[in-house]
Structure 1
Amino acid sequence: MTTVEDFKVKSHELLMELDAATSDMMTLICAHQMTGAAWDEAVRRQHEAYEQWVGYLNEGS
């Protein structure tokens, strides 16, 4: 069973990855680099980070 503290720590870790992935995407947008391999990887990373965070949040409900 996950304690409240364990939940907070894991949720924070996942949220930090989501924030970093989103920041990387925004950097590419600012540089007008919204095509190509770097963009595709950034989109994949951000999507995966979001899915992992939401999935973890929904495990407890």
Structure 2
Amino acid sequence: MTTTDDFRFHAHELIVDLDAATTEMMKLISAHQLSGPEWERVTQWQHDAYERWMTYLNARSYPESGDTNAPH
């Protein structure tokens, strides 16, 4: 796998987790369940997933512009 492929693979994993957590949060909002242990669990999951995503994006060192595998 190239560096770009590695980035995309891991980014996809993180995005899927963040999307799942956000979806669960929205389900609870739609059900008017904005408190209690399930709300706490899901909001923590969503927060952690967002933090993992942002940490990954901010920690990336992107390939030099001469790298043919760099994202366009």
Instruction: Provide TM-score, normalisation by structure 2.
Output: 0.80
Count of aligned pairs = 60
Backbone CA RMSD of aligned residues? 1.1
Q: Counterpart in 2 of 1:50? A: 50
AA aligned to 1:45 is: W
Residues 16-48 of structure 1: per-residue CA shift (max 9 Å, x gap): 000000000000000000000000001000000
Which runs of 5 or more structure 1 residues have no equivalent in the other structure? none
Confirm or deny that 1:38 pairs with 2:21: no
AA aligned to 2:3 is: T
Indicate the structure with greater helix content.
1
Confirm or deny that 1:5 pairs with 2:10: no
Sequence identity (%): 52
Which runs of 5 or more structure 2 residues have no equivalent in the other structure? 62-72
AA aligned to 2:16 is: M
Larger radius of gyration: 2
Q: CA deviation at 1:49?
A: 0.2
Over 4 Å off, 4+ runs? none
In 1, distance between residues paired with 2:59 and 2:5? 15
Q: Counterpart in 1 of 2:18? A: 18
Secondary structure of 1:35's counterpart equals: coil
